[in-house]
Structure 1
Amino acid sequence: MFVSIAYLTVNLFLYYNKSIKNNGVPLYYDFKPNTIKYTFDPDIVNDDISEQFLSYGISYGVDVSEWQGNIDWQKVRATGISFAIIRCGFRQTHGSEVKEDANFKENIEGAIAAGLKVGVYFFGTAKNEAEAIEEAEFTVNLIKDYNLTYPVAYDTESFNTGRLEGVSYSTITDNVLTFTETVASYGYETMVYSYHNALTYILEMGKLEGKLIWLAHFTDKTNYKGNYNIWQYTSTGKVDGIKTNVDLNLSYFTYVDNEDDIVPNPNYVYAPEVAMAPVEDRVRTKRNSTIRTSPTTSIPNKLGTIPRGKVLYRKELGENFSLVEYEGKSVYVANDDIETYTP
């Protein structure tokens, strides 16, 4: 659990490559002792290092599982790595058993002892709400005795394969939401992990608005157009203390004790402002139509689909979208997908 009130400082929608520096901090792929000494004070062991995070805007971290083998966390810490997100468990893509990661306890205890900020992730393949709750309860049971200082993430990256073959994207998104909300009910901050195309085209991101997002995109320059809070930018990083390749991450937030310490972020991605005129009429969908949380297709904002032939009350009309009422919610639908309805 978090020891202090968690406020987030977030830098979103930023581009990086090997030659670009953010506040003097370059994007590294190879961490050796004291590689990034300016973002990590070796004299600080278990104290809050939020001030340094806020000063430099980003922090570096790793995510690990049993596949990394035995890790020397003191050496990892000495490189300047500030946080670790550790796999606590998983459900296989074939089969239904939920399992603990073989190195979870060793990794979380070692990382905490070394003074790193620590979060966890669960690799999930829930087919329905009941399985999502099972995965969440399993995760909470594993982490309840540890003091987490980074979020609990749900790793969803299996679609139309294995046990998830034939499970709709809408259902998978709902299961992600169920997992995160169940874990959050125990007082933990939660986060959603997936890869660029899944976050852009597969998951219904409108349902996940307000969630912390952990983007996987192995590139020097991400073109993901949505908001994200951690960027996993390579799977072939080298870190002293870890014998294998390891995922490297940039975090654009940290937890602070005082809201006044938050550094304003000028790069947050807001939905574009679109002129909408008030109307009062009824429309009918001409085809199965995507509904969105904002009147644009420039950011991931899908909420789901309205079936063909549905009659809706329209409240606002814009050049390309209308604001309509659907199942008790105000949502946007493309004007090309609807027609005026007269009983």
Structure 2
Amino acid sequence: MTRDKTITKPEKQDQQTANEEETEDTGNIESAEPEILVFRDVFGEEYETAINPDIPSNLFDNDKFIHEGDILRYDDEGYDCKLGIDVSHHQGSIDWESVKAQGYDFAILRIGYRGYGKEGTLNRDQTFEENYENARAAGLSVGVYFFAQAVSEEEAAEEAEFVLGILNGRDLELPVVYDPESILDDEARTDDVSGEQFTKNTKEFCRLIKEAGYVPMIYSNMLWEAFELDLEQLSDIDIWYADYEDVPQTPYNFVFWQYSNTGNVAGVSGEVDLDIWLKPKNE
């Protein structure tokens, strides 16, 4: 993400302000000043943001995340955790039997993308069909993601219909993920899109996916959660969270965590994204 927006901690004031309430029956003063989160992006840049207490919280115990090379475990008997990878045509042809043999149980496949240039052309991922058939044949659970560059709700709806057209009723064990991203090294059609509009786009895409009988999900990272997406409006949709720190920095709930973009997995050429699915056993 390339956006340089920052939110600084509000200065305390000597007098009671709108952020403070005096309780009439006790005379006590309750401060409503928000808690501030300091986090780092993938380049090590630090940011600050106010934590929204009305968004479902991250309740994971960071001490229970255990890294063993490329393998991540969450040491809590209350969760059934599975490892997976997410891929696109950039990984080329994949030996899914080898992936499964190493203990990876799911795959999130890129189904398509919108170009970030002015035209915003919709494109099918060239390896989707091959990956879909072979990953499921090897026994992996499969979901899909769409790399989005919509600038309006109408374009987000177009992206959803494009995805549904490719799926054409195919079975999925995992969600259909909306993946809006900033372009790091070039001008993009979404450079001037506001966080409010990104949120509207996301809601529209996910609404149409749900209406079609699939489970929607949102791909996000801490920069997008802080400065772009209004997660309070999206709180009924699960999050696939990306963060390459040792523990997740987000204060908000998530279901999948993309914990590395430099994984090495037999059967996959080059580096690949690694993910963990944190599923409560009582669900």
TM class by shorter chain equals 0.7 to 0.9
CA–CA distance in 1 between the matches of 2:115 and 2:61? 34
Partner of 2:98: 75
State the Cα distance separating 1:223 from its structure 2 match. Answer: 1.8
Q: Is the 8 A contact 2:58 2:250 kept in 1?
A: no
RMSD, aligned α-carbons: 2.6
CA–CA distance in 2 between the matches of 1:125 and 1:75? 33
Q: 1:209 aligns with which of 216, 230, 235?
A: 235
CA–CA distance in 2 between the matches of 1:88 and 1:72? 18
Q: Is the 8 A contact 2:109 2:144 kept in 1?
A: yes
For 1:154, give the aligned amino acid.
Answer: Y
Partner of 1:124: 148
Post-superposition Cα deviations, 1:137-160, rounded to whole Å, max 9, x if no partner, equal 110111124210000000012279
- Higher Cα Rg, which structure: 1
CA–CA distance in 1 between the matches of 2:205 and 2:77? 30
CA–CA distance in 1 between the matches of 2:98 and 2:179? 27
Q: Is the 8 A contact 1:85 1:120 kept in 2?
A: yes
Q: Is the 8 A contact 1:200 1:224 kept in 2?
A: no
Partner of 1:295: none
Partner of 2:264: 238
CA–CA distance in 1 between the matches of 2:177 and 2:67? 23
- 1:225 matched to 2:251? The reply is yes
For 2:263, give the aligned amino acid.
Answer: G
Partner of 2:282: 262
State the Cα distance separating 1:207 from its structure 2 match. Answer: 1.2
- 1:188 matched to 2:234? The reply is no
Q: 1:113 aligns with which of 114, 133, 137?
A: 137
State the Cα distance separating 1:72 from its structure 2 match. Answer: 0.2
Q: Is the 8 A contact 1:63 1:84 kept in 2?
A: yes
Q: Is the 8 A contact 2:195 2:227 kept in 1?
A: no
Q: Which runs of 5+ in 1 are unaligned?
A: 1-10, 37-52, 255-260, 264-343
* TM-score w.r.t. length of structure 2: 0.73
Q: 1:84 aligns with which of 107, 112, 132?
A: 107
Question: How has the CA–CA distance of structure 1 residues 90 and 29 changed in structure 2, closer, same or farther, with 3 Å as cutoff?
Answer: farther
Q: Is the 8 A contact 2:198 2:228 kept in 1?
A: no
CA–CA distance in 2 between the matches of 1:70 and 1:28? 27
Q: Is the 8 A contact 2:81 2:276 kept in 1?
A: yes
- 1:99 matched to 2:99? The reply is no
Q: Is the 8 A contact 1:29 1:237 kept in 2?
A: no
Q: Is the 8 A contact 1:68 1:244 kept in 2?
A: yes
CA–CA distance in 1 between the matches of 2:101 and 2:226? 36
- 1:162 matched to 2:162? The reply is no
Post-superposition Cα deviations, 1:26-78, rounded to whole Å, max 9, x if no partner, equal 434436xxx99xxxxxxxxxxxxxxxx98753111110000111100000001
Counterpart secondary structure, 1:130: helix
CA–CA distance in 2 between the matches of 1:54 and 1:78? 24
Extract structure 1 runs of 4+ deviating beyond 4 A: 53-56
CA–CA distance in 2 between the matches of 1:231 and 1:58? 11
Counterpart secondary structure, 2:232: helix
For 1:262, give the aligned amino acid.
Answer: N
Partner of 2:53: none
Q: Which runs of 5+ in 2 are unaligned?
A: 1-56
Post-superposition Cα deviations, 1:76-106, rounded to whole Å, max 9, x if no partner, equal 0011101100000000111311000011111
State the Cα distance separating 1:210 from its structure 2 match. Answer: 1.4
Q: Is the 8 A contact 2:113 2:124 kept in 1?
A: yes
Q: 2:165 aligns with which of 141, 151, 162?
A: 141
Post-superposition Cα deviations, 1:259-298, rounded to whole Å, max 9, x if no partner, equal xx626xxxxxxxxxxxxxxxxxxxxxxxxxxxxxxxxxxx
CA–CA distance in 2 between the matches of 1:81 and 1:189? 22
For 1:247-326, what aligned pairs fall within 5 Å after superposition?
Answer: 247-253=273-279, 262=282
CA–CA distance in 2 between the matches of 1:54 and 1:116? 23
Q: Is the 8 A contact 1:61 1:83 kept in 2?
A: yes
CA–CA distance in 1 between the matches of 2:244 and 2:253? 17
CA–CA distance in 2 between the matches of 1:194 and 1:30? 21
